[in-house]
Amino acid sequence: MMHSLSLFFMLFTASPELPQKLFGLFPFYFASFSDFLAMATTGISYAFFVWLSFGLTYLLLVGLIVWSYYQHKQFKQQLAARLAREQRVKQYQEQQT
């Protein structure tokens, strides 16, 4: 187990000056913030695919939250209508007896 962790860290450490510490907490593997946004440390840019996947993920999560809110609101309205109808039916039955 320990050997696999050391191998993992050895493979993903870029150079002695990198990773730089980002805000003192997280390792930062890009030379600059613009390289981070472009996702290009070796000249090949993966930014379009990376940011597109992040954007779609967050868009779907927001859509899920909005849809859940709408469904919850609709359920409460249907439940209130059902309870009101049951109350009216009960009152009508009591009047008939």
Q: What residue spans define the domains of the chain?
A: 1-45, 47-97
> pLDDT exceeding 90 applies to what percent of the chain?
43
pTM (two decimals): 0.54
Secondary structure E strands in the chain: 20-22, 26-28
What is the per-residue pLDDT for 62? 97
Q: Token digits for 4? A: 């696999």
What is the per-residue pLDDT for 49? 84
For residue 41, count other CB atoms closer than 10 A to its CB: 15
The 10s digit of each residue's pLDDT in 55-75 is 999 999 999 999 999 999 999
What is the per-residue pLDDT for 26? 59
Closest CA to 19 of 46, 44, 41: 41
Q: How confident is the model at residue 81 (pLDDT cuts 50, 70, 90)?
A: very high
Residue identified by tokens 């962790």 is 5
CA dist 59 and 62 (Å) reads 5
